[in-house]
Chains A and B, each alone.
Chain A
Amino acid sequence: MRIDLNEIQHWIKQGSRILDLGCGDGTLLKFLIDTKQVQGYGLEIDAAQINTCIDKGLNVIEQNLDRGLGNFADKSFDTVLMTQALQTLHFPHLVLDEMLRVGKECIVTFPNFGHWKARFYLATRGRMPVSDLLPYEWYNTPNIHFCTFDDFEVLCHERNIKVINRQVVNEQSGQTLKDFMPNLFGETAIYHLSK
């Protein structure tokens, strides 16, 4: 399982009600149901991913996050999750607001575009970074709103979002350096938020 998904479980209460935005193949949802007995729904738009969720017996709902979460009541979930999808949204800041309206707490994970490899790639080649973590060309990438950890901190500050926890995880190198200079050496951020 992806390293950010493994960390998230520590912030999920036993038996809580969760909503996973962009739940993909349902790996996290299934994991949280099995280990934390959560009651959960996943939102997804990709037909193949939805099929995989159905195979796993998950409650998957076809819904485009860019159309908002207007169909969910205020504070109707203990935790609203969104892993590695923030950067694919047309209006990430509005979705974030909506997550904090619908959930008592939120957990967001996203890749750090300020990672030294991305910076080095752009600085030395003058071209948009392509790596094993971000394997797309600029024209076909689903990732249309990249940010760095620092960018995200600024957004939270501007919108009065309370950061309960923040953690940086690295799949690859820089395990010690990431704690020292997360915005340069961290690969993936996990934020635990409330309003």
Chain B
Amino acid sequence: MPNQIPADSVGLVTPKTHHFTAPLLLACGRTLDEYELVYETYGQLNAAKSNAVLICHALSGHHHAAGYHSMDDKRPGWWDAYIGPGKPIDTNKFFVVALNNLGGCHGSTGPCSINPVTGKAWGADFPMVRVRDWVASQARLADVLGIDVWAAVIGGSLGGMQVMRWALDFPERIRHAVVIASALKLSAQNIAFNEAARKAIVSDPNFFDGDYIEHNTLPKNGLAVARMIGHITYLSDFAMGEKFGRDLRSGSFALGTAEPVEFQIESYLRYQGDSFANSFDANSYIRITKALDYFDLAREYNDDAVLAFKKTSAKFLVISFSTDWRFAPERSHEIVNALVGANRPVTYAEIESHHGHDAFLLPDERYQQVFGRYLAGVTI
């Protein structure tokens, strides 16, 4: 809870919702006749509307990227370390838009929303959404906000995939593309982790083939296990060792005691899993991890990312983190190499960090420098 709002915070913010009535044809072939997107904005849109920046969120993110909703909030938005006055995404300069993607569970239309046709929650029937659907809906939000061209579209992890999709599908509407800890496509290992997580969810007896809302229950155990699996992969071995080691939360190894032992890491993971299961929707989790798995920038370009990037005209900033094994620096090298091969402007930095994939969310001096200096050079 902030006793007072920090000077470099965007302060108290209120989410807005836009109801879209034009049908959206999804990549899966189904159509959403109407839908809502919830979003937040920080900073002021200038008269020329040339200073708008879009934030694309990752798996568990949402529209609340910075600031506080009330003075009772325990924590600010998920990317508060990077969005605010004087921060890398400087709200004194930029007008920042952050939204909750379609199929999510933080206010935008998703599996928990009411299907207007049936009058019941969509549940398992909510369509599969892909990265390109998110980008298409984000473009419609830009239309609503009167933004023809983004000064920059920015995202980490799955958010970075949306940024690349933006550069490809709307080359004339994006001037700078900032792709952080991301990949042209997931590796088999990555898909495997996602499938293990999904299997945990669908194996929960309370899942009811995705129609748990109809059964007035939630597959919380399955979702918690899914989050635990994910969480392990977002941290590095080193970071986990530093933070928890083999420290005990309770119990003892003393001979002659039957007292059960609980390691700190066990308790921590359980806490992470449980709190996630209380704030996230299982159907959303399944859809969003599927969108991750399906994404493959070069698929329609003969599996040639160079050919794909030739369609783009944005300037790219690509950033990776040394101990990120979920979206390893090698994946970012593939992005950079393809951009160079396509003769497209790109800057790349590999940040030394102990924090694994999570590093893209955490404060880091060099990361902030590279990010901030690059965005300082974006003309508005």
Chain A residues at the B interface, C-beta cutoff of 8 Å: 17, 39, 41, 47, 50-51, 53-55, 57-63, 71-73, 76
Contact = CB atoms under 8 A, between A and B. Distances in A.
A72 B342 CA distance: 11
A50 B341 contact: no
Interface string B336-363: 1100110101111110000000000000
B6 interface: no
Interface stretch (B54-62, B160-168, B365-373): B365-373
B126 to A, nearest CB: 41
B341 A54 contact: no
B350 A55 contact: no
Interface in B14-60: none
B370 A54 contact: yes
24 contacts: A39-B343, A41-B340, A41-B346, A47-B366, A47-B369, A50-B349, A51-B370, A51-B373, A54-B370, A54-B373, A54-B374, A55-B373, A55-B376, A58-B347, A59-B346, A59-B347, A60-B348, A61-B347, A62-B348, A71-B333, A71-B336, A72-B340, A73-B341, A76-B340
A61 B370 contact: no
B309 to A, nearest CB: 14
B151 to A, nearest CB: 14
A39 B345 CA distance: 9
B90 to A, nearest CB: 15
Interface of B: 333, 336-337, 340-341, 343, 345-350, 366, 369-370, 373-374, 376-377
A17 B345 CA distance: 12
A61 B348 contact: yes
B359 to A, nearest CB: 15
B288 to A, nearest CB: 30
Given A54-B377, A61-B336, A17 B343 contact: yes
Nearest to A71: B337
Interface of A is mostly: mixed
A51 B346 contact: no
Nearest to B338: A71
A76 B345 CA distance: 15
A53 B349 CA distance: 11
A61 B369 contact: no
The 9 closest A-B pairs by CB, nearest first: A61-B348, A54-B373, A71-B337, A62-B350, A62-B349, A57-B377, A59-B345, A54-B374, A60-B347
Contacts of B337: 71-72
Nearest to A19: B340
A57 B377 CA distance: 7
Contacts of A53: 347
A61 B373 contact: no
Nearest to A41: B340
Given A47-B349, A61-B346, 16 more contacts: A17-B343, A41-B340, A47-B366, A50-B349, A51-B369, A51-B370, A54-B374, A54-B377, A55-B373, A55-B376, A57-B377, A60-B348, A61-B336, A61-B340, A71-B336, A71-B337
Contacts of A76: 340-341
A55 B369 contact: no
Contacts of B336: 61, 71
A143 to B, nearest CB: 24
Contacts of A41: 340, 346
Nearest to B319: A62
A13 B273 CA distance: 59
Contacts of A61: 336, 340, 346-348
A149 to B, nearest CB: 33
Contacts of B340: 41, 61, 71-72, 76
A156 B349 CA distance: 33
Contacts of B369: 47, 51
A57 to B, nearest CB: 5
Given A71-B337, A76-B341, A50 B370 contact: yes
Given A61-B336, A71-B333, A71-B337, A54 B347 contact: yes
B167 to A, nearest CB: 16
A13 B349 CA distance: 29
Contacts of B349: 47, 50, 62
Contacts of B347: 53-54, 58-61
